[in-house]
Copies of this chain bind each other. A is one copy, B any other.
Amino acid sequence: MNAKHIVIIGGVAGGASAGARARRHSESARITVIERGPDVSFANCGLPYHIGGEISDRSELALQTPESLRKLLNLEVLTLTEAIAIDPQAKTVTLRSLTDPSESSIGYDQLILSPGASPIRPPLPGIDHPRILTLRNLQDMDRIIEAAASAKRVAVVGAGFIGLEMAEQLLHIEKAVSLIELQPQVLPQLDPEMTRPLERSLRDKGIELVLGDGIDGFESKGDAVTAKLSSGRTIDADLVILSIGVRPDSQLAKEAGLTLGPRGHISVDSYQRTSAPDIYAVGDACESPDPILGGHVAIALGGPANRQGRTAADHIFLGDKALPYPGSIGTSIVRVFDLAAGVTGASEKRLKMTGTTYETVTVNGPSHASYFPGAETITLKLLWSPDDGRVLGAEAVGIDGVDKRLDVLATAIRGRMTIDDLVHLEFAYAPPFGSAKDVINVAGFAATNMRDGMLVPVQTLDDAAGEQIIDVRPPAVVEKLPVPGATNIPLPTVRDRLDEIDKSRPVFTVCQMGKTSYFAARILANHGFDARSILGGAWHQAPREGD
């Protein structure tokens, strides 16, 4: 057998992983990496942190160089080279050098597409102003650093993961930052009530947060730019960062006749094979199966990209003995100053959108034993299927331990585990690390209590507006954050004051975090009241500034 030639288009994340894994399978295969940019395998997720100076050494971001890929993996690396056409019949790729106008052709036995996704730049008036930048690669990063050096005011448009990281890092280097988001919340991947702590924190730190407002266009104003918002408001900035999402770089695939999904992502099977023989696709440009809801999702994340690259390489050498890629559940996280927030699996929004039946509960618990110094509250939202109790998704926000809970729940989702399983997950417990009843156990308790009728929940205070509300917190706590219209009957006195509650009407109990309100509701229910507990507690009901 002649040595096979594997051509990889795109030398970052998925492409680099595919090349490395292919080489582990074979020393004799010829492996060529085509990369449009000057760099391969750089740390895209680290770019905002070099802009903000938290990663001080730029060279840390270059995980590999074309030279190191040659030396370590014997890859042929063609940088500054664009693949401009694929001929799936002839099994060739037409290449154009970006440094001279020459074109050439290269044959392949297997082709792996890892073109990635580009930041969206909508065709708005004034969008081409040189001070309106996006962030995808090291060169973009360098441009932003240069522009930021002389900028006082920076507007970040789009408050998703990258927008939040950019806003944080730009404040870190003492810019006046405006963060503008079309949705009425930051981090639209999460459900709105979960992002309130982030919004409070952003405002507390001095970021101007503009929610629920779009950009109609930009106007040049000397060296600066004026962003014109849909509301009529204007924001002046010396630099604008656009982070409103990405679009798959699938044009080449489309022109080659490969099947694309509804939003332009390359369709692949569970071995990352496209619709054309011997052509694979990995990373941000392709779709993945959705193991939770079925169908397909497009998830632009580094972890999946790397493991998809590995899967494609395995399939080239092992055929259907390779381990299939099981799909992506979209586990992700962002740090915003002291806070972390993230999601795994489906959000409530997405479950509603897809018409999926679900139940949800939100609980609060300490990051580690509450009696040990440094414990911080984690708010955890759990979503599950009432049919079989299977966990469908989770979101968490807090100062410490958010990543741990998301990772555990991502594992539970992957293992198709249920709310009953969460009850008895057995975690590493010592006071500095956890609690005897971790917040994930507590979420399992609450979810199974709901199913079993022990907990009749109401999600938020708003849902109890106008009803008979009993606030069971201590009076001193009530005074600081009162619940309008509620009667204060502290938990220890509930049994003695039953006659103050109207048994002919439903009664809604509320406390700070949704825990003792459950205790009170149990007392009332066991005394024959129609009692419901307000899950979110009063804690979460602090008004959204600017609402």
Contacts and interface: CB of A to CB of B under 8 A. Distances in A.
A67 to B, nearest CB: 10
A252 interface: no
Given A426-B331, A429-B303, A373 B491 contact: no
A513 to B, nearest CB: 16
B411 A72 contact: no
Interface stretch (A54-62, A239-247, A357-365, A501-509): A54-62
B335 A429 contact: no
Contacts of A425: 407, 410-411, 414
16 contacts: A24-B454, A28-B526, A45-B430, A46-B369, A54-B373, A68-B492, A303-B429, A307-B441, A318-B452, A325-B424, A403-B434, A408-B411, A410-B425, A411-B411, A414-B424, A415-B421
A340 interface: yes
Contacts of A72: 491-492, 519
For A13, A427, A495, which residue has the most chain B Cβ atoms within 10 angstroms? A427
A106 interface: no
A342 B429 CA distance: 10
Given A427-B303, A429-B45, A492-B72, A417 B415 contact: yes
A263 interface: no
A522 interface: yes
Contacts of A325: 424
Contacts of A304: 426
Nearest to A419: B323
Contacts of A452: 318
Interface of A: 13, 23-28, 43, 45-46, 49, 54-55, 60-61, 63, 68, 71-72, 74, 161, 165, 301-307, 310, 318, 323, 325-326, 328-335, 340, 342, 344, 369, 371-373, 402-404, 406-408, 410-412, 414-417, 420-421, 423-434, 436-438, 441, 445, 448, 452, 454, 491-492, 495, 519, 522-523, 526-527
B61 A371 contact: yes
Contacts of A63: 371
Contacts of A448: 323
A245 to B, nearest CB: 17
Given A55-B372, A72-B519, 19 more contacts: A27-B495, A45-B429, A63-B371, A301-B429, A303-B427, A304-B426, A306-B436, A307-B424, A307-B437, A323-B424, A329-B426, A330-B426, A334-B430, A335-B433, A340-B432, A406-B427, A407-B425, A414-B425, A414-B426
For A304, A305, A430, A448, which residue has the most chain B Cβ atoms within 10 angstroms? A430
A302 B71 CA distance: 52
For A23, A305, A411, which residue has the most chain B Cβ atoms within 10 angstroms? A411
A455 to B, nearest CB: 9
Contact of A45 (B411, B416, B423, B436): B436
B27 A526 contact: yes
| In the A-B complex, the 10 residue pairs with the closest CB atoms | A415-B415, A27-B526, A333-B428, A302-B436, A71-B492, A403-B433, A406-B428, A404-B404, A60-B371, A411-B411
Contacts of A417: 411, 414-415
A410 B430 contact: no
A43 B372 CA distance: 10
Given A328-B426, A433-B333, A495 B74 contact: yes
A238 B450 CA distance: 55
A401 to B, nearest CB: 8
B24 A519 contact: yes
A412 B416 CA distance: 11
Contacts of A369: 43, 45-46
Contact of A424 (B326, B402, B438, B491): B326
A522 B24 contact: yes
Given A43-B369, A372-B46, A335 B415 contact: no
Contacts of A27: 495, 523, 526-527
A427 B407 CA distance: 5
A45 B428 CA distance: 13
Contacts of A408: 407-408, 411
A418 to B, nearest CB: 10
A429 B331 contact: yes
Given A72-B491, A433-B403, A492-B71, A428 B342 contact: yes
Contact of A333 (B71, B307, B402, B429): B429
A237 to B, nearest CB: 25
Contacts of A165: 430
Contacts of A431: 43, 45-46, 49, 55
A433 B301 CA distance: 14
Nearest to A305: B436
Contacts of A441: 303, 307
